[in-house]
Amino acid sequence: MNITALTLTETLEALERKEFSRGELNKAYIDRINKLNRDLNAYLLVNEQSNAVPAAIKDIIVTKGIRTTAGSKILENFIPPYNATVIDRLSEHRISIIGKTNLDEFAMGSSGENSAYGPTKNPWNLSKVPGGSSSGSAAAMTADMAVFALGTDTGGSIRQPASLCG
């Protein structure tokens, strides 16, 4: 079974049937991230200690004790003292952060090229943009690098990457 190719529902059902452990699930995703992220630049930070259902979190969503840069060097050392409400809700349901995903700086862009940490690449064609600003989240999902991902959308920041990455 290719664990990283399962949908969220399939993953939860397989965990319930004990077809694999949460540790095996996280190892499969960490291995995949380590294999692909060098080319895609979808993740800015990877949490190899993830031990629940692994989710990719757009790096503009604050996470207590985990660096949040918003794709900007200005915030490269910012470690929030609190979680965004959505992170607390995910934690209540045994969802863990496998990593923080790349984005257009301060979520102000539509291509995924404007991060201070380099552009995110489209998994289907590395010469194409993935769309933005939730570029890393979309690329991570398309490349099976997370069970699911969070992004944000003000002016198309989820819709454009979803369209361009499929």
Give yes or no: 133 in active site: yes
CA dist., res. 32 & res. 10, Å (int): 18
Which residue among the candidates 72, 134, 135, 157 is catalytic per the annotation? 157
Which residue among the candidates 111, 133, 134, 137 is catalytic per the annotation? 133
Structure tokens at 119: 């552009």
Give yes or no: 134 in active site: no
Which residue among the candidates 50, 58, 72, 137 is catalytic per the annotation? 58
Give yes or no: 21 in active site: no
Give the bridge partners for 150, in sequence order: 57
Taking Cα atoms as reference points, which of 52, 63, 65, 147 lies closest to residue 100?
63
Catalytic residues: 58, 133, 157
